[in-house]
Amino acid sequence: MRSSYLAVCATLIALATALPSRAQGAPSSGHPAKLAELLTEAERNNPQIQAARHGWDAAKQVPTQVSTLPDPQVMVQQFSVGSPRPFAGYTNSDFAYIGLGFSQDIPFPGKLRLRGEIARKDADVSQEGYESVRRAILADVKKTYFALGYLSERATILSVDADLLRQVEESADARYRSGMGNQQEVLQAQLEQTKLLREITTNQLEIGKTQAAIKQLLNRPQTSPDIEAAALSETPLSYSYEQLLAAAGANNPEIAGMQKKVEEQKLQVDLAKKDFYPDFNLQYMWQRTDPTQFRAYYMLTFGVRIPIYRGRRQQPALAQAEAEQNRSKSESETVAQQIAAGLREEYVSAGKSAELLKIYRDGLLPQSRAEFEAGLSAYQSNHEDFQALLASFLDVLKLDEEYWQMLDEHETSLAQIEEATGLSLR
């Protein structure tokens, strides 16, 4: 029965290792996808990036609209006396006439220019918003790609460690058959085999979720072939925090967008001050009465719209614009502080994870592997108890997974730094 259980576990683990392509219904393309190619594809096809770009394109069309004079109004007048019939003619009255004219509203000098500048600043804010969305999506592609690489490495680890666990179980079974061991050791080894099967299945579930996420970012159909990530490798960080902070201050679109928003609100204050001045209206009319008796009339009219309700309209509008300007300044400082803090956190995370990766490579991983191999030999020769052997095996499994997870976190931190600074670290 124990041999049968061993065979069943081996079969289930082999099936679970091969599960992803069958379970998801989308086999992989067969070769690792290059991250640079996926980033280019996401930038070209991601609908969020496209929507942000269209929003920027729309905002660029506004400045000429708001900085242009209002459309003139063309007027036709007909005045008749003694008859309700339009164009009854001049014979009914000497006062009858036909008139043609136009009217043009003219804002106070400087208002149209300010409206155009405000719209241009708003378009600049939209441009920075587009860049912010673009960087965020590309950072998500990187993080998802690295997660996929980690899960792939974890699947390999679980498969290899399943072979090691089978050796442990076979050794426990052999000792039990020879009378030197006990049945509890065999049952515990079988329990660990089942737990490992659970971990393999859970890992395949995570792979499926990650495949769905990266296909969504790339705007690929979910039925398209799965994406195979290249093997993870450590990327060194050769910049100091001060250099990264300076790059973020110069290149971060959120900081630039908030700065442009402050400039836009300053122009809004200037425009609110301009609204204290009057606007104008110009009209010109040509009137024709009976041409046999009277000459044509020409009339020029100049009107002024006087802002007499300043206390209820212009002054509150100016106070609102100044409050909005102060709010923009505070929000700009908040964004700058948040980015500086986030950048510091990712910088420390990248540095410490690099140190930990070295500790894993040079110490923990080879030491745990050597301990397990020595423990397995000692157990087979009845010089070590089963619990110590099982503990050393679990150390190997845990440390292998921790190493690749730490490498995933290291590369993810660099992706966050790239998003914040605009630098290319790879």
> Tell me, what's the pLDDT at 92?
63
In tens, the pLDDT along 208-267 reads: 999 999 999 999 999 999 999 998 999 999 999 999 999 999 999 999 999 999 999 999
For residue 295, what is the enclosing H or E element? none
DSSP state of 93: -
pLDDT of residue 19 exceeding 70, the answer is: no
CA angle at residue 287 from 282 to 289, to 5 degrees? 165
CA–CA separation, 23 and 10 (whole Å):
19
Q: Predicted confidence band at 182 (pLDDT cuts at 50, 70, 90)?
A: low
In tens, the pLDDT along 259-312 reads: 999 999 999 999 999 999 999 999 999 988 877 777 888 999 999 999 999 999
Instruction: Map tokens 């640079």 to a residue.
Output: 36
Residue 299, phi-psi category: left (phi > 0), alpha (psi -120 to 50), beta (remainder):
beta
Q: Predicted confidence band at 343 (pLDDT cuts at 50, 70, 90)?
A: very high
DSSP state of 226: B
Q: What string of DSSP letters covers 312-367?
A: TTHHHHHHHHHHHHHHHHHHHHHHHHHHHHHHHHHHHHHHHHHHHHHHIIIIIHHH
Q: How far apart are the first and last CA of the chain?
A: 54
- Assigned token pair, 333: 């400082």
- In the chain, domain spans: 2-69+107-421
For the chain, the residue count is 426
Q: Check: CB of residue 253 under 8 Å from CB of residue 131.
A: yes
Quote the CATH superfamily of domain 2-69+107-421: Outer membrane efflux proteins (OEP) (1.20.1600.10)
> Tell me, what's the pLDDT at 288?
81
DSSP state of 28: B
> Tell me, what's the pLDDT at 389?
75
